[in-house]
Structure 1
């Protein structure tokens, strides 16, 4: 508000200049007084310097707070993105999110810095200016007011059309950002398959669409600006002719006509800039809409609270998970109950209504301290089931308990201290090798890092140029697949979690390294409750029992040898894997 007030004062100060000109023409110039002319010149110079100084002060006043607003909004967006469920990130392209965090917030800051202020300032300037014009010569003032109605209509039509184009080009820019990001992250695939030309063609096609939309937007802006400039110019020309006639008839002084025309010319920029300001305002409005599209998405906590409320209202029963009933009817707690899946069902939010659930009727108990291997054909739902334990997804029905406590009643921070995960596709960050491992446990010490590297057979870290302080690069692409997987495994075990969920953590290891990791991993699994997705018989042998997942359901549970004897599907699955490994 202070900056807008300063700018309004500076702009209105420019309206004083025509009044000084009127005094000069009707006074010192008409009376041939050189001293008065010099005084008038000094006044004009002083007003110009003051106006420029006030605009400089306005710029200084808005710079710091607007930079703070932009930084705060960007931090809020990033924080919100971290809290959104995985299902949201599955639906949204990363480039769209990146463009919202960069380009859109930049447009919003520019709007707050310039168009918002000057829509107010120019409005005040036009009102004060026309008040001065009408006071000087109301008939000429009415002539200048004639274009007001067609200008209002034109601006209304322009805003409607421009808003659609502005939104389109911002969405296309997000798509373009996605293509660039994927091209950079997948550069090895692009080069490995010689697809750089096809990628370049796809990029050119998308940039062509962005260019076409931008040209359409520029055409709309050029049209409205031409009309906004033409109508006031015609009105000023008409006022000049009418004023000249009045001066010739002696009804108007020359100084008044000079002052009137000078005031009218001063008002040209506030009026003619209307198209430019409206365009920037529409860009900012669509950017704000895109920003709040993400911010209005419910976080994982909010989604869970809504789901729990709905389930309680329909079921009408308590879901206190940490208590069970003994034979004599009294309630008792089960602090070492392990990991349970009870009546679990899951379907993805964007799945068709008639599509079968990915998981249905899952009832599985992994006893405390036990290691359960989860096996099944590709697409049977193994990875989806493991993702439900750390609440990367939320069950559609049923529940999961840890030592008798429903995971939906646990704060997420506590849940993720209890449960550690390692995925088949390891994700590393642009940080040091040690920092990537220590992300697995808050407050982990150097000794924990060394122990975790030993368990994961990731001692190669010590041979890196700066040891554990070596930067592994974006996505850890400076390391081999097996090295990345071992670092991810070390990250999972560094905090000595109560529960461990491993999604085929050894798939990228050679046979020798796999044997060493399994030997060290047995010590970890002996002190934790673990669910391990297994694709190799050697990994299955790490487990106390095996659960066979088939078609989204638990088809059989038992030891490896029991299932080999009792389950034809399990025998077929294991023999198929062994034949593949033999090749």
Structure 2
């Protein structure tokens, strides 16, 4: 779970909210119009108490009915103006807040797409999802309402306080004196609310993760009959979230209670003090009525400050959570001034003293890997579980960057190639096939959107994925989320078709045939040989047939390539290779039989 920060002081909260300034800058005109409309609409309310005082001390006191007409017309005119300004504020507010929400969400999504794999492996998807949805919506609500009225209401408080002092300075000072405890206790509870709000937002991310995992793994959950276990896990998180929400509600209730109680006490002070002032002749009846009317204008700004400050706290926490993503380091990026370099088809792939260690990990995964794969050659990497085979393949397309040595294509360090070029000339098929909720054609052409129908058909033939033509709408059939409407073997075949589409310069296969039956695997391998003959391939091998696709085999041990050669040579000369194969009788039997021919 994400670590809960210490309560932010006022400077910290302002710093958090300052993150929004670059996103608000393009809409500063509309935002200024929003503030202007809200401020003028609020200030027009102040005319009514002044008109009320004039009515009481003038036409009513003098019995002049005709004198009421212009004053009432003036009040009506300001009422109409207030309504028009209210419409203007709502219109401008909607435009600015929705535009800013869109830009912020776009920036966040683009950042998530660019952040390295190492970042995503350290974050739960639920935490990312809650930041991209609920936190962004929290910011939109604050920008469209809270920020506007927080400033407008504070200005209103200042203006009304000045008018109260001008109307009757002793009563005005009394009103200001009663506000001191409100400020002191309000700031104290706002800091507490800030911490509780952050805990709630983080726990919402944990709950989203539980829901997402349960939905994505529904087949496993049902097949094992563990629905109750999954629900109990969800329920525990939901109960924690409820408890945190209740704690936040209690704090907010205390804040509301304080801000509700203050006006009642202050109004009692005004009525007692004002009555004494009228009795002593220091204040007219109209002046007292106007003073009370002015104070009633203050009721909404005072009452709203409680939830507006609470909303500001939630928004500051949301900004902090989003800034954690926007400020996350981009460890895999293009070097300054990088330009496309000539890479042949097929390309020569070399690992030169390559080392790799996961951030924050202890022992390195790879220590000194040397491997030279000639253009057009296929090399299978064999090793025990956890030896670093998958990590080694991930370095080719810079899913991770080496921490020592270098990986080259035709003599060019892959870090000197623009990422868009590198990931065009290098195609990867993973053991765990990932498909998206889009059409079959879109999934296959994901890496090469410009591929024509003939290229798509060839890729499907190689991957033995002709089953797509039997789907309801053929290549235009939309498959479900994660491709769950397809079998595991069908998903792998589509992922393989995606990798071989366009005949890349380097093809990286991380055991992409593991989910295929023996018959389909044989057909795929027969077609795949034609592709491998025209490209450079690095293949992680766990099965006999996969090893036999390779021209040479590399044995990976203790973070190093300890032996490279033809299978038959390694089987005869390298005891560690024989021991590795003997641990899987099926693989050993098939390869031994193949080697004896």
Q: CA deviation at 1:582?
A: 8.2
Structure 1 equivalent of residue 17 of structure 2 = none
Aligned runs of 1:75-224 on 2, under 5 Å? 75-224=106-255
From 340, 351, 367, give the equivalent of 1:341: 351
Structure 1 equivalent of residue 505 of structure 2 = 498
Q: CA deviation at 1:281?
A: 0.2
Tell whether 2:80 aligns with 1:49. yes
Q: CA deviation at 1:6?
A: 1.3
Using the alignment, how far apart are the partners of 1:237 and 1:96 within structure 2?
49
Structure 2 equivalent of residue 429 of structure 1 = 436
Tell whether 2:392 aligns with 1:385. yes
1:266-324 superposed Cα distances (whole Å, 9 cap, x missing partner):
1111112111110000000010011110000122445x759x9xxxxxxxxxx99x99x
SS at match of 2:66: helix
From 283, 308, 330, give the equivalent of 1:299: 330
Tell whether 2:307 aligns with 1:276. yes
Q: Go from structure 1 to structure 2 and tell me whether the alpha carbon gap of 1:206 and 1:267 turns closer, same or farther (over 3 Å shift).
A: same
Using the alignment, how far apart are the partners of 1:35 and 1:529 within structure 2?
98
Using the alignment, how far apart are the partners of 2:448 and 2:581 within structure 1?
35
From 262, 287, 294, give the equivalent of 1:231: 262
Tell whether 2:515 aligns with 1:508. yes
Aligned partners of 1:537 and 1:578 also within 8 Å: no
Structure 2 equivalent of residue 407 of structure 1 = 414
Aligned partners of 1:83 and 1:300 also within 8 Å: no
Aligned partners of 2:96 and 2:144 also within 8 Å: no
Structure 1 equivalent of residue 594 of structure 2 = none
Structure 1 equivalent of residue 427 of structure 2 = 420
Aligned partners of 2:53 and 2:290 also within 8 Å: yes
Q: CA deviation at 1:50?
A: 2.3
Aligned runs of 1:344-355 on 2, under 5 Å? 344-351=354-361, 355=362
Using the alignment, how far apart are the partners of 2:589 and 2:574 within structure 1?
22
Aligned partners of 1:537 and 1:574 also within 8 Å: no
CA RMSD of aligned residues (A): 2.2
Aligned partners of 1:168 and 1:213 also within 8 Å: yes
TM-score for the superposition, normalised by structure 1: 0.92
Q: CA deviation at 1:214?
A: 1.1
Q: Go from structure 1 to structure 2 and tell me whether the alpha carbon gap of 1:580 and 1:495 turns closer, same or farther (over 3 Å shift).
A: closer
Q: CA deviation at 1:334?
A: 10
SS at match of 1:64: helix
SS at match of 1:146: helix
1:19-54 superposed Cα distances (whole Å, 9 cap, x missing partner):
111111111222223333454444333333322331
Aligned runs of 1:405-554 on 2, under 5 Å? 405-554=412-561
Q: CA deviation at 1:234?
A: 1.3
Q: Unpaired runs of 5+ in structure 2?
A: 1-31, 591-597
Using the alignment, how far apart are the partners of 2:184 and 2:589 within structure 1?
78
From 336, 341, 356, give the equivalent of 2:363: 356
Q: Unpaired runs of 5+ in structure 1?
A: 309-318, 324-332
Using the alignment, how far apart are the partners of 1:579 and 1:416 within structure 2?
35
Using the alignment, how far apart are the partners of 1:420 and 1:251 within structure 2?
88
SS at match of 1:400: strand
Q: Higher mean Cα deviation, 394-403 or 20-29? A: 20-29
Aligned partners of 1:381 and 1:552 also within 8 Å: yes
Q: CA deviation at 1:232?
A: 3.1
1:343-390 superposed Cα distances (whole Å, 9 cap, x missing partner):
111111021xxx321111100001111000111111111111111111
Using the alignment, how far apart are the partners of 2:491 and 2:307 within structure 1?
52
Structure 2 equivalent of residue 72 of structure 1 = 103
Using the alignment, how far apart are the partners of 1:250 and 1:386 within structure 2?
92
Using the alignment, how far apart are the partners of 1:538 and 1:185 within structure 2?
31
SS at match of 1:350: coil
TM-score for the superposition, normalised by structure 2: 0.90
Using the alignment, how far apart are the partners of 1:114 and 1:478 within structure 2?
44
Aligned residues: 559
From 319, 322, 342, give the equivalent of 1:288: 319
Structure 2 equivalent of residue 2 of structure 1 = 33
Q: CA deviation at 1:115?
A: 1.3
Using the alignment, how far apart are the partners of 2:346 and 2:517 within structure 1?
36
Q: CA deviation at 1:215?
A: 1.1
Aligned partners of 2:130 and 2:208 also within 8 Å: yes
Q: Higher mean Cα deviation, 229-238 or 441-450? A: 229-238
Using the alignment, how far apart are the partners of 1:63 and 1:408 within structure 2?
45
Using the alignment, how far apart are the partners of 1:451 and 1:334 within structure 2?
22
Q: Go from structure 1 to structure 2 and tell me whether the alpha carbon gap of 1:551 and 1:506 turns closer, same or farther (over 3 Å shift).
A: same
Using the alignment, how far apart are the partners of 1:203 and 1:581 within structure 2?
45
SS at match of 2:513: coil
